Amino acid sequence: MRGLDTLALVLLIVGGLNWLLVGLLQFDLVASIFGGQDALLSRIVYILVGLSALYALTFFSKFSK
């Protein structure tokens, strides 16, 4: 599970940095790298970031012990 935790953390950092750029500069890095917001690869990255956020909810149970 440690590998999955690391992958989720990396994707959440990518997503967080992307939202920082969108908020500050109105620049979507993921979309610019993968061909626009509607491009298949961009959508896959967005979905993976969202799934990582859902998975990260399980971290709360690890910290509450």
**pLDDT 10s digits, 7-36:** 999 999 999 999 999 999 999 999 999 999
Q: If you average pLDDT over residues 41-56, what whole number do you get?
A: 96
pTM surpassing 0.95?
Answer: no
Domain extents in the chain: 2-63
pLDDT of residue 1: 74
pLDDT of residue 61: 83
- pLDDT band, very low/low/confident/very high, at 50 (cuts 50, 70, 90): very high
At CA 24, angle to CA 39 and CA 22, rounded to 5?
A: 15
Residue 64 has pLDDT above 90, yes or no: no
